[in-house]
């Protein structure tokens, strides 16, 4: 073993000890977490569905509510429909602003979706609930921010909730356990490349 290798080995041993000591101080979460994925960069929904994949691997019970109903066919919707015994999928009733152009109809749809979200979060039936693009509905003030915060906090202790979408409101980030801001460094859209099947939808 060269000196460099030996030094490396010693450094790694020290690092491992340090890491072990730090983990020992931590405790297991005794309840589900509130997680927020926000920011301008791509990956908010993708990361939520990645977490869902992990949860499914452990046989957890999971549910998804999509707050922004696009008319387009997405890979995740096709997947969830195919595995409806594994994932409960709900999609918010109506289309969204620039398709419906009817604010009152959007508000009514958001309120209905919020009722379903509360039922999912309170039932105690799920380990993981994804409220995809809820932040978009909040940004448009279709739902009261304090009401949503209280509803998220009142969830069943078993249930982890992931809220996604740009412009997460401050009051929800304040009470969340985990907030990740996706930062856009580059996006193919800027280079004139269209959204792609299996990558973007
Ligand atoms: P994804 O679903 O790919 O994880 P996201 O949830 O982070 O994306 P959304 O705001 O929900 O982002 O946008 C959904 C769609 O917009 C996706 O097709 C995504 O690739 C695209 N998109 C996300 N970020 C950007 C960006 N910075 N510029 C252009 N398009 C973007
Ligand atoms: Mg998204």
Tell me, rounded to whole angstroms, the distance of Cα 45 from its chain centroid.
Answer: 6
- The CA 92 to ligand 1 mean position distance, Å, reads 19
Q: How far apart are CA 103 and CA 12, in angstroms?
A: 58
Q: What is the pTM of this model?
A: 0.91
Taking only the tens of pLDDT, the chain with its 201 residues reads 888 999 999 999 999 999 888 888 888 888 999 999 999 999 999 999 999 999 999 999 999 999 987 677 899 999 999 999 999 999 986 655 555 678 888 899 999 999 999 999 999 999 999 999 999 999 999 999 999 999 999 999 999 999 999 999 999 999 999 999 999 999 998 889 999 999 999
Other residues' Cβ atoms within 10 Å of the Cβ of residue 52: 23
Distances (CA, A) of 78 to 102, 128, 155: 28, 20, 28
- The CA 53 to ligand 1 mean position distance, Å, reads 19
Nearest residue to 132 via CA among 39, 37, 57: 37
Ligand 1 pocket, 200 CB below 6 A?
yes
| Angle of the 103-122 helix axis to the 145-153 helix axis, nearest 10 | 20
Ligand 1 pocket, 199 CB below 6 A?
no
pLDDT score at 92: 85
Other residues' Cβ atoms within 10 Å of the Cβ of residue 164: 28
pLDDT score at 86: 96
Q: What is the number of residues in the chain? A: 201
Taking domain 31-191, whether its CATH number is 3.40.1190.20 is answered by no
Q: How far apart are CA 89 and CA 49, in angstroms?
A: 12
How many helices (H) and strands (E) would you count in the chain?
8, 6
- The CA 58 to ligand 1 mean position distance, Å, reads 28
**What residue spans define the domains of the chain?**
31-191
Give the residue ranges of DSSP H helices in the chain.
3-25, 44-57, 75-82, 97-100, 103-122, 134-139, 145-153, 170-175
14 DSSP β-pair partners = none
């Amino acid at each position: 073993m060269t000196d460099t290798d030996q030094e490396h080995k010693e450094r790694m041993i020290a690092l491992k000890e340090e890491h072990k000591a730090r983990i020992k101080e931590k405790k297991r979460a005794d309840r589900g977490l509130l997680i927020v994925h926000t920011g301008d960069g791509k990956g908010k929904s993708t990361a939520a569905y990645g977490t869902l994949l992990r949860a499914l691997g452990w046989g957890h019970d999971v549910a998804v509510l999509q707050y922004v109903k696009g008319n387009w066919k997405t890979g995740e919707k096709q997947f969830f429909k195919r595995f409806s015994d594994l994932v409960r999928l709900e999609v918010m009733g109506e289309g969204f602003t620039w398709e419906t152009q009817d604010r009152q109809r959007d508000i009514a749809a958001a309120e209905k979706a919020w009722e379903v979200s509360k039922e999912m979060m309170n039932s105690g039936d799920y380990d993981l609930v994804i409220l995809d693009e809820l932040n978009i509905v909040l940004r448009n003030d279709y739902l009261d921010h304090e009401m949503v915060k209280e509803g998220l906090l009142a969830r069943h202790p078993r249930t982890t909730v992931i809220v996604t979408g740009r412009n997460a409101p401050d009051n929800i980030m304040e009470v969340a356990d985990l907030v990740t801001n996706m930062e856009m460094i580059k996006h193919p859209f800027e280079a004139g490349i269209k959204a792609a099947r299996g990558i973007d939808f």
